Amino acid sequence: MSARYSYRAVDVAGKPMNGYMDAESIEEVGSWLADRGYFVVDIKLAPLQSLVITGKKKAKVSSDDLNFFFIQLSSLISAGCPLLMSIDALEKQAPSLPLKGLLADIGEKIQSGKSFSEALKNHNNIFSNLFITMVEVGEVGGILDQVLERYAYIHDSTHRLRNKMFKAMIYPVVLLLTTLFVAWAVLVFVFPKLIGEIQASGQKLPLPTEIVLMTSNFVSAYFVHMLLSAIAVYFIYASIKKTESGGLFIDRVFISVKVIGSLIKQLQIVLFSRTLGVLLSSGVPILTSIQAVERTMGNRCYKDAISDAREAVSRGESLSQAISRHRHLFSDTIVLMISVGEQTGNIGEMLEKMGKIYERDLESTLESAVSLLEPCLVVFLSGFVALLALAVYLPIFDMGKLVR
């Protein structure tokens, strides 16, 4: 049974090196150090505290921190800085403690003799299979700098795109939630008190007032039931989406909705073309590349289509032929560009270009959708305020007429 040992050693020049290593015995650690030209100073079982610290594999690292890591590591490796030195440098300037701990553990694994990809596999809850696969290809082919640069581009582009989508939706969502909160507060607390006095006088209420009063009474009486029902619907939806058939059905429904479906299709095509293009350009075999892309897709309709395409390619068909069977998900333009890439031998480059084109289209579609949603919410809010004003002031005007 292996255990974790801490060691202290020096090289020929007298430079100290300290670290941890998982091994079967102290002799194994000593042999590993001696084989690499180090003179052993001390080897002992790692204390329990260090085991706990270095054994944290479930730490949460934010997308911003990962983006920092990928971009900075790519820059350092491309500049000719050794891998271990690059990781040590990034550990010192890491913007958060989780990333600092993660890089410290990766550095220790590499110091103990593991490859970069093997060190990453210990943190597969943080690093995607796509990244680990690309690193393995880079190590085997001696193109780690190119692979890291390409992956940094993929992650940074996806990260920026998600941030744009999030920022674009902040104003409409805040406006909608504010409208719903104000509507609830007015219907439950304000409106009943205003109308109660008018009802007490025996005056007949106008139609807008009766409609708002009925709505107010319903919300006041069944608010808790509505809230619990909404929570129940959410959990039922989440449970159905986790199942294979239920998730596929929900994804199909979303794709069939005009504006939402267009956004989903464009996003999935951007992920598909950019990821597959980078993998193929890095020298990853096409079947391995398609399988890696399949795992990155968030929509089950696209997952199934890409899985079907992978099986077709494994039988000897071209990728363009396999994709052409799913023209409801992949347009004629995509099929044509893949076909041209296959004929010219530049399929990876063609896919990367296609990813950039569809990313611009996605940003344009997103801006148009948000531009359309904002005035719709403003109109809804204005209509609600107008109806509420009529419901309040019409009885008051009628009461004034009676006084005259």
Determine the Cα–Cα distance for residues 137 and 284; give it in Å rounded to an integer.
Answer: 7
Q: Are residues 269 and 321 in the same domain?
A: yes
Q: Are residues 44 and 72 in the same domain?
A: no
- What are the pLDDT digits (tens) for 381-395? 788 778 877 877 787
- What are the pLDDT digits (tens) for 106-131? 888 888 778 888 888 888 788 877 78
Q: Are residues 119 and 26 in the same domain?
A: no
- 70-78 long-range Cβ contacts below 8 angstroms, 24+ apart: 70/148, 70/151, 70/152, 70/155, 70/156, 71/152, 71/156, 73/148, 73/152, 74/145, 74/148, 74/149, 74/151, 74/152, 77/144, 77/145, 77/148, 78/145, 78/148, 78/149
How many structural domains compose the chain? 3
**Residue 340 falls within a domain, yes or no?**
yes
**Residue in the block written with tokens 């220790």:** 108
Q: Are residues 306 and 350 in the same domain?
A: yes
At residue 229, the pLDDT reads 92
Q: Are residues 291 and 333 in the same domain?
A: yes
Determine the Cα–Cα distance for residues 22 and 141; give it in Å rounded to an integer.
Answer: 27
**Residue 116 falls within a domain, yes or no?**
yes
Q: Are residues 287 and 359 in the same domain?
A: yes
**Residue 368 falls within a domain, yes or no?**
no
Contact between 66 and 31 (Cβ < 8 Å): no
Q: Nearest 5°: CA angle at 283, between 133 and 310?
A: 70
Q: Are residues 89 and 8 in the same domain?
A: no
Strands (E), 143-219: none
**Residue 370 falls within a domain, yes or no?**
no
Contact between 276 and 289 (Cβ < 8 Å): yes
Q: Are residues 95 and 112 in the same domain?
A: yes
CATH number at residue 309: 1.20.81.30
At residue 57, the pLDDT reads 45
At residue 48, the pLDDT reads 43
Q: Nearest 5°: CA angle at 237, between 234 and 243?
A: 145
Contact between 191 and 213 (Cβ < 8 Å): yes
At residue 236, the pLDDT reads 92
**Residue 332 falls within a domain, yes or no?**
yes
**Residue 251 falls within a domain, yes or no?**
no
**Residue 402 falls within a domain, yes or no?**
no
Q: Are residues 276 and 353 in the same domain?
A: yes
CATH number at residue 24: 3.10.20
Q: Are residues 87 and 33 in the same domain?
A: no
Q: Which of 110, 127, 144 is the C-terminal boundary of a domain? A: 127
At residue 91, the pLDDT reads 87
Q: Which residues of the chain are under the pLDDT cut of 70?
A: 1-4, 17, 19-22, 35-36, 46-59, 197-203, 398-404
Residue 203 burial (CB count, 10 A) = 13
- Would you give the distance in Å from CA 56 to the centre of its chain? 23
Query: What range defines the domain where residue 344 resides?
Result: 261-363
Q: Are residues 35 and 74 in the same domain?
A: no
**Residue 327 falls within a domain, yes or no?**
yes
Q: Are residues 43 and 78 in the same domain?
A: no
